[in-house]
Amino acid sequence: MMSHLIVMPIVLPLAAAVALLLTRFGNATLKRGLGLATTLALLVISVMLLRQAASGEIQYYALGNWQPPFGIIMVLDRLSALMLFVTSMLAVGAVLFACGGDDEKGSNFHGLFQLQLMGINGAFLTGDLFNLFVFFEVLLLASYALLVHGGGKARIQSAVHYAVLNLAGSALFLFAVGLLYGATGTLNMADMAQAVSQLPGERQGMVVAGALLLLVVFGLKAAVLPLYFWLPRAYASAPPPVAALFAVMTKIGVYAILRVYWLVFGDQAGPLEALEQSWVWWLSLGTLAIAGVGVLAARDLRLLVAYLVLVSVGTLLAGVGMRSPVAVSGLLFYLVHTTLVTGGLFLLADMIGVQRGKAGTRLVRGRIPRNATALGLMFLIGSMAVAGLPPLSGALGKVMLMNAGDSAQRLWFWPLLLATGLCAIVALSRAGSTLFWRSQASDDGDSLSPWQWAGTGWLLASSPLLVILAGPLAGYTEATAEQLSDPQPMIQAVLIDQGDAQ
């Protein structure tokens, strides 16, 4: 039977977005209530889908009951369920924080936020390349507007650069889709995987061109070297709850690489198997190196956190480049950790900046925050987690990835990963001492809303919680990696066992 629950992560935020955008001048309390209730409902739905996918069964939802490979389908497996859960966890923290007043600094925040969630969830669930493009456009359109929420020169400049680059990426996406469709005759990813395995030799060149062009698009979304330069300033200038949600945006690029290249160019693809591996591997190492330099050079706390996001991108893509189930298991564990923790650090940076007055988040002498003890403790937890210091979750994820590579890969990966970790420790230690020790004490400073404390605490608490739940989570990521490494069950579930889904 087709489970309608699979499509709810798309339908629910879409309905909420329409309602919120139609009542843009309505009561603020009602808008906050609807936005928060929808996001909490998405969390509940994602937990239900996570439990459903944990059985290992791959399910799909055919819109209008038009069966694949011709109809639009949404596919639920362990990977898509995990990404939905991480997104909903992150979104709850961001919405809680926004209810402290950031949502009223511009118009349509909650409606646009739900629209972006709809696009993100759709990208994780879609089973064909064209609808992946469609959901990319939905989430990008919403992110353009959210990036300039509250106005300001820095945000507008960053939004223009962000929009221009992503529009160029969208054009390349269409070219890549056209090439792949022309060579294989399908856009359904499972059907394309089957078509690639039977591809005539004269069409292989076209498929390689389309696949590498698609890799450029996904690399732009993930912010890999040399396509990373839009990320630091855009994330640093974004409103705090938007920057927190943006922590998952680069992970969409990582997810897309995993989904497309492990399914379409898996072991059934013959000579086209793993054609992305060498590109992803070397570019990930370059991204790690550049990000480490950026972390040390950052003189603003928000910019520092943005470069830490870039460090996570390089780390995750190195796991993709290793191309083994063990590496994928490690990168998925690390993905959950880094998405939630960096999202929390963006929120914490704003709380610290609000209480420092004119100094804001710049790493210069200023007044010590009024709530220095509580904020300092949260900063310590977040810093230890994001730098990968034991006993928090970042250390577990990094150890899993370090043990996943072969001897040749470890020769490159270990020094770079440890060096960027050291850079993070040095930069965060310097930032902490500037913010909390080398500044002047003062009783002044704006008060912080309970909503802001709740949202930030929700995300930063995830790191010790992930340590407690490390066993079940690692078991789930291992099963996810094994499922991803074998494309045949996905092909069979979508194309062959159609009668069971009707």
Determine what percent of the chain falls in helix, strand and coil, rounding each to the nearest 5: 75, 5, 20
Q: At 178, give phi and psi (nearest 5°).
A: -60, -45
pLDDT at 473: 95
> Looking at per-residue confidence, does 201 or 115 come out higher?
115
Give the whole-angstrom CA distance, residue 502 versus residue 499. 6
- Across the range 25-45, mean pLDDT stands at 90
Domain ranges (residues) in the chain: 1-275+486-502, 277-468
- Identity at 367, one-letter amino acid code: R
pLDDT reading at 499 higher than 60? no
pLDDT reading at 153 higher than 90? no
Confidence label for 157 from pLDDT (cuts 50, 70 and 90):
confident
- 69 preceded by cis ω (within 30°)? yes
pLDDT at 1: 37
pLDDT at 498: 52
Question: What's the pLDDT tens digit per position in 285-312?
Answer: 999 999 999 999 999 999 999 999 999 9
Confidence label for 28 from pLDDT (cuts 50, 70 and 90):
confident
Going by the DSSP 8-state scheme, the letter that residue 238 receives in this structure is S
Question: What's the pLDDT tens digit per position in 59-109?
Answer: 999 888 888 888 889 999 999 999 999 999 999 999 999 998 888 887 789
Give the whole-angstrom CA distance, residue 181 versus residue 168. 20
Overall pTM > 0.85: yes
DSSP annotation string for 351-390: HHHHTTGGGTTBSS--BPPTTHHHHHHHHHHHHHHHHT-T
Average pLDDT, rounded, for the chain:
90
pLDDT reading at 502 higher than 60? no
Pick from 211, 212, 242, 246: nearest CA to 231:
246
- Across the range 332-344, mean pLDDT stands at 96
Q: Do the Cβ atoms of 339 and 457 come closer than 8 Å? A: no
